[in-house]
Chains A and B, each alone.
Chain A
């Protein structure tokens, strides 16, 4: 073992996470390398100091004061929820599910789009046939349909992903229609009427999206997911649903859904930490989503 290797493995060595052979090699290297000895000793000292820190400081004003603030905030937010419209509450509960559905479908569309560019290595883990096409719901190659290894071609899976996204959207529109009809019956109705008009626009858009799907070109002429009319329509539908539910106009926080080339939800989109239960992904060293709330922040 040499210095760079030991430096790369020092944390695992200190944590006892190296196998017996590599741990022995590390100990052997440390016997004769003063520089690595110093580095490992310094790291060990930092780790020991970290582990001996008290497990928790305490709030300066005491635990009861903090609890008072927490319970007051929770009460305040629940009262604010009580004042929201039923459509708005529905949107807050469902927007992350819908966004995830579109993201998953669009991401798979991106994979499909990139498949022809994969290196020609013969049938691989995905069963891709070199030089084959992967576009269109009916794509069949010389060697037969592209298979994902479990008996379903990539094109078939793409069609299934789209059908699932489509089903979720249709369910969402139906649910929202019922809620808005109730609001029209029990309120002054102005905003509910506007929301109903938005839903009418959605239904028109659905027809257009289905027509675009049928016309989706195959193989080399197929557009990239950035221009894929199906997923572009879905993203627009999300924005329309949001407007119908909460009355947010374009340009306001969270109103603009945009897809990126990988089909992910937009960084400034309306899915917030709260929507994910506050537990959205944040890998170590990564940047945190600071998305605004579609209805304004607290």
Chain B
């Protein structure tokens, strides 16, 4: 069951609906990563907006799923501030998308470790609604989103990156700054924990089939 490849977006991907000011001879229509970083360093608004529009969905998604939907706005804001202020330091030795993911994940994990501990374990299980009758009902997705909250933050990060965002273990390892083998083993533990959390709901679902 190889994951559907989403891969970290690179700068050649066409971003959101952003109208860039026209200027003959410049690189604004298809700027390279380095050109964007340098323009951000000069404080050029078009480059900062380009980054925001191109990566806002991915960054917000990571913030929401790693830090929780209630804190997603705050974490996404913090992540983008770090990204836009850090871009002048981007050296181009990694893909820009990977670097942005790394900052977003770090912002989310920092937020998680600083806030009071969230409800976990049995409390979360209690909050997971009973299974509905269809085999692949929308309720499973909702329960899965809620069970994510019960995972340790590191497990959550690797599961979100690999299983939800569809990144490879190599990309996960780069973003999380760990070895590929560590990414694999952590994902295995994360899934095992999810199975524990969702097992009763899944079993009930199967009985209802």
Which residues of A are interface residues toward B (Cβ below 8 A)?
8, 10-12, 14-17, 39, 42-53, 55-61, 63, 66-67, 69-71, 73-74, 77-78, 273-274, 277-290
Contact = CB atoms under 8 A, between A and B. Distances in A.
A280 B82 CA distance: 12
B164 interface: yes
Given A16-B2, A57-B60, A284-B155, A42 B199 contact: yes
B86 interface: yes
Contacts of A60: 73
Contact of B61 (A57, A78, A280): A57
B195 A71 contact: no
B52 to A, nearest CB: 6
A73 B83 CA distance: 12
B154 interface: yes
A59 B2 contact: no
Given A49-B141, A50-B163, A69 B77 contact: yes
A228 B112 CA distance: 37
B154 A53 contact: no
Nearest to A45: B202
A15 B158 contact: no
Interface string B165-183: 1100000000011100011
Given A46-B194, A284-B158, A290-B113, A56 B182 contact: no
B165 A55 contact: yes
Contacts of A289: 110
Give the contact-size bracket for chain B: 35 or more
Interface of B: 1-4, 6, 43, 48-49, 52, 56-58, 60-61, 64, 69, 72-73, 76-77, 80-86, 89-90, 99, 102-103, 105-107, 109-110, 112-114, 136, 140-141, 144-145, 152-155, 157-159, 163-166, 176-178, 182-184, 186-189, 191-192, 194-195, 198-199, 202
Contact of B164 (A14, A42, A53, A280): A53
- The prevalent SS among residues of B at the interface is helix
B110 to A, nearest CB: 5
Most buried by B among A14, A48, A73, A284: A284
B141 A52 contact: yes
A283 B176 contact: yes
A282 B3 CA distance: 24
Nearest to A14: B1
A285 B154 contact: yes
6 contacts: A10-B188, A45-B140, A56-B60, A61-B73, A63-B56, A285-B152
Contacts of A281: 177
B84 to A, nearest CB: 5
B110 A70 contact: no
A282 B177 contact: yes
B152 A46 contact: no
A47 B82 contact: no
A279 B84 contact: no
B185 to A, nearest CB: 9
Nearest to B186: A284
Contacts of A66: 56, 60, 73, 76-77, 80
Nearest to A286: B154
A274 B195 contact: no
A12 B113 CA distance: 29
Most buried by A among B61, B82, B106: B106
B191 A47 contact: yes
Contacts of A51: 3-4, 163-164, 166
A284 B2 contact: no
Nearest to B163: A50
A47 B1 contact: yes
B54 to A, nearest CB: 12
B144 A46 contact: yes
A167 to B, nearest CB: 22
